[in-house]
Amino acid sequence: MKEFETYTLPNGIKGIHRRVKSGIAHCALVVNAGTRDELKSEYGLAHFTEHAIFKGTTHRKAYQVNCRLENLGGELNAYTTKEDTTIHATTLKGDFSKAAELIADVAFNSTFPERELQKEREVIVDEINTYKDSPADMIFDSFEDMIFAGSELGHNILGTKAALMRHDGDAIRRFVERTHTTDQMVFSTIGNFSLRSVQSVAERYFGIKQASQRGYKRVRPADVEPFEKQINKHTHQTHCIVGARAYDINADKRLPLSLLINILGGPSANSRLNILLREKNGLSYNIEANYTPYNDCGMVAIYFSSEHHNVDYCRELIDKELRELRSTALSSRRMAMTKRQFLAQMAISMENNEGYMLGAGKSFLLHDEIDTLEEVYRKVSAVTAEQIMEVAEEIFARTSTLIYQ
């Protein structure tokens, strides 16, 4: 049996399903529309839309949407990123059909009543205020705004309070009509069902949506010169990001870069930067490296926080580590350990069926296919130390820096 099975509804919505022996079902509608699809007058609208879809439909009031699955012990949620919006649910196997129907209802039949929107604006204002109290979060958005200057990828997902107050139900409807088209949707499922039964549910609830196609193309962000900037935030600690533009989600070099970032500052305690800054020198409680690939570009970011007087030394140690990775190939023993760690992390993450389902839905949306675990193993095994050194040179030869202090 294939790891994933796929289908396409007549209106263009694609489906992907993985059958597992479980009493729990997970499903999600992944829409290829996020904050980079907002017009300049619409900043914050994708996230506001994600909140607003739960505030009542032509069939349900807001409290009925909220209670439909929760009363059954399940849950319904959603999130927005720079490039996609996802509505997802988890239920007992026997309630899968109810979850699919509810997702379709909020995705296609939301009414966006002004009374509910006004209450939700206040919720998002509180979210914005909470975000502003977290420099560790804000610095990432500020860095992206600079590294993608002039592009819709730059602005943060929440938007501003002033813009939020301007967005009404008509603005949401226009945004949804323009961006939430059926050719940009995937219904992703994991559960103990046959493909036939899942497709039947999808046809019943998602197949009735009229077919639509996206009428615009995203514009790749223009290149920017490397920068170094310091912003006074009067924070207790200094927060710093060192980063650069990187490969897009379809690039062949994406996998060697992912391995490199995992070595450098991945989630394991034995990452090179964690050992260097935290374990050996006690300079930073939080040091991490991230790679975020987008549809037509990407970004790497090394983040750390430290006492003000330790920042220069932290940066010196990071620069030294980057120079070494750019100039010295990893040993065969280190490469074997790196690959084993990366593959083990991936295999363990796949034990989380909800996360696996969400990742598979986005991957199918972007690539029209899903690599099996065996294919991933083969690709990772083929990566060489020279390839990792090559991407280190390409990405870290010219970095940018942003400091909050």
Q: Give how far Cα 128 sits from Cα of 40, 121, 159, Å.
A: 19, 10, 8
At residue 373, the pLDDT reads 79
**Token output for 33:** 């529309």
pLDDT at 234 over 90: no
Q: pLDDT (tens digit, 9 = 90+) per residue, 10-65?
A: 999 999 999 999 999 999 999 999 999 999 999 999 999 999 999 999 999 999 99
At residue 2, the pLDDT reads 66
Q: pLDDT (tens digit, 9 = 90+) per residue, 180-230?
A: 999 999 999 999 999 999 999 999 999 999 999 999 999 999 999 999 999
Q: pLDDT (tens digit, 9 = 90+) per residue, 283-321?
A: 999 999 999 999 999 999 999 999 999 999 999 999 999
At residue 1, the pLDDT reads 46
The CATH code of the domain at 5-205 is 3.30.830.10
Q: Please, what is the average pLDDT of the chain?
A: 95
pLDDT at 149 over 70: yes
**Token output for 207:** 């197949």
The CATH code of the domain at 228-404 is 3.30.830.10
Q: pLDDT (tens digit, 9 = 90+) per residue, 353-403?
A: 999 999 999 999 988 888 887 888 999 999 999 999 999 999 999 999 999
At residue 374, the pLDDT reads 85
Query: In which order are the strands placed within the sheet that holds 298-306?
Result: 228-231, 400-404, 238-246, 298-306, 286-293
Q: What percent of the chain has pLDDT over 90?
A: 91
Which has the closest alpha carbon to 297: 257, 261, 259? 257
Q: Are 383 and 129 in contact (CB under 8 A)?
A: no
Q: Where in the chain is the domain with CATH 3.30.830.10?
A: 5-205, 228-404
Q: pLDDT (tens digit, 9 = 90+) per residue, 266-286?
A: 999 999 999 999 999 999 999
